[in-house]
């Protein structure tokens, strides 16, 4: 250890963010070779990470990237062990970088394929190496959950408060600001379908049965029950269907009318909530 200078240890620490003693040990193991020490630290981190893969990762956030002009967007769910880590700047940047690489790169069918691709925020480093470097600093396991890429004009929004949500929408026409507004609406109002036709028929039929029974209990004659039920179903649609919901920024018009006014057609949306295995999509 006597042959390793304080300056060398400091330089390695600045590059890796790891504790001084770990940096010194790595330099000793590699005879003072800084690049070799970085590799040694990563390899050592892989070994430690491998022993912790059974840990639960129930927290996290969504990296969302939407490029309206170039017609591509992506969303990646990055999970971790504790709520505090989700607020770390490096964790946020990693999630965002993953989404950007997924959108702008060749695409990826698996987390492994995505992690093998180059980072856009640290040249010469893959996403996997960036993820491992962060693990070495905070000693928490990170897992990639769901991921999606849309090759079309998109809007997106990541809502990271007490309830973490990520939204990505595919649109036609309009502009990026309108697409983002609709994405924010989805995160807030959580529609279950894009339009009435895409609602689960069983759900609609169940609601119809409930409304019909309620009308009968009110003593309404059979000849007007059907009209009453159809009228009340519109309220149900306004709660469940994106294009029928009152727009959060102007509840005097529906989301569908707002989009139409802006010359935009919403073709598809994906809404994920952290910790929910299934996605809302319309």
| 140 phi, psi to nearest 5 deg | -125, 145
Give residue 130's pLDDT: 92
Three-state SS annotation for 59-127 = EEEEEEEEECCCCEEEEEEEEECCCHHHHCHHHHHHHHHHHHHHHHCCCCCCHHHHHCCECCCCCCCEH
d(CA 135, CA 149) in angstroms, rounded, equals: 26
Query: In angstroms, what CA-CA distances link 152 with 69, 122, 161?
Result: 9, 27, 28
pLDDT in tens, the chain (282 residues): 457 888 888 887 877 777 788 778 878 888 888 888 888 877 776 555 555 666 677 899 999 999 999 999 999 999 998 999 999 999 999 999 999 999 999 999 999 999 999 999 999 999 999 998 888 888 888 899 999 999 999 999 987 654 478 999 999 999 999 999 999 999 999 999 999 999 988 988 888 888 888 878 887 777 788 788 877 888 888 999 999 999 999 999 999 999 999 999 999 999 999 876 545 666
d(CA 119, CA 138) in angstroms, rounded, equals: 20
Radius of gyration of the chain (CA): 25
Query: In angstroms, what CA-CA distances link 30 with 23, 24, 35, 83, 134?
Result: 11, 10, 9, 36, 21
pTM above 0.85, yes or no: no
Nearest C-alpha neighbor of 163 from the set 239, 273, 84: 273
Give residue 1's pLDDT: 43
Q: What share of the chain is helix, strand, coil (3-state, %, to 5)?
A: 50, 25, 25
> Are 79 and 142 contacting, i.e. CB atoms less than 8 angstroms apart?
yes
Q: What is the DSSP letter of 56?
A: -
DSSP string, 135-190: HHHH----EEEEEEEE-SSEEEEEEESSSEEEEEEEEEES-HHHHHHHHHHHHHH-
* Inter-axis angle of helices 127-138 and 6-16, nearest 10: 110
Give residue 162's pLDDT: 41
Give residue 51's pLDDT: 56
Give residue 163's pLDDT: 45
- Region of residue 174 (phi > 0: left; psi between -120 and 50: alpha; otherwise: beta): left
Length of the chain (residues): 282
Give residue 48's pLDDT: 56
Give residue 161's pLDDT: 56
Domains of the chain: 6-51 (1.10.8.10), 56-151 (3.30.479.20), 200-240 (1.10.286.20)
């Amino acid at each position: 250890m006597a042959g390793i200078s304080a300056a060398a240890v400091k330089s390695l620490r600045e590059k890796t963010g790891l504790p001084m003693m770990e940096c010194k040990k790595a330099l000793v193991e590699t005879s003072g070779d800084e690049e070799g020490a970085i590799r040694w630290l990563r390899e050592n981190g892989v070994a430690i990470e491998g022993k912790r893969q059974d840990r639960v990762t129930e927290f996290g956030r969504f990296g969302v990237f939407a490029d309206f002009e170039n017609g591509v967007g992506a969303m990646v769910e990055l999970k971790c062990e504790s709520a505090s880590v989700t607020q770390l700047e490096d964790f946020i940047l990693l999630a965002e970088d993953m989404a950007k690489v997924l959108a702008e790169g060749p695409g990826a069918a698996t987390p492994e394929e995505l992690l093998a691709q180059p980072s856009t925020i640290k040249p010469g480093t893959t996403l996997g190496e960036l993820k491992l470097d962060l693990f070495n600093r905070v000693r928490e396991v990170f897992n990639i959950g769901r991921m999606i890429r849309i090759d079309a004009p998109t809007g997106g929004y990541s809502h990271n408060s007490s309830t973490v949500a990520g939204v990505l929408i595919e649109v036609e026409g309009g502009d990026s600001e309108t697409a983002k507004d609709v994405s924010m609406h989805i995160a807030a109002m959580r529609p279950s379908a894009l339009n009435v036709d895409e609602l689960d028929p069983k759900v609609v039929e169940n609601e119809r049965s409930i409304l019909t029974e309620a009308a009968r209990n009110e003593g309404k004659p059979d000849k007007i029950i059907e009209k009453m039920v159809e009228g009340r179903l519109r309220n149900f649609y306004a709660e469940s269907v994106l294009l029928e919901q009152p727009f959060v920024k102007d509840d005097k018009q529906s989301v569908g009318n707002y989009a139409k006014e802006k010359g935009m057609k919403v073709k598809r949306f994906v809404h994920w909530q952290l910790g929910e295995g299934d996605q809302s999509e319309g």
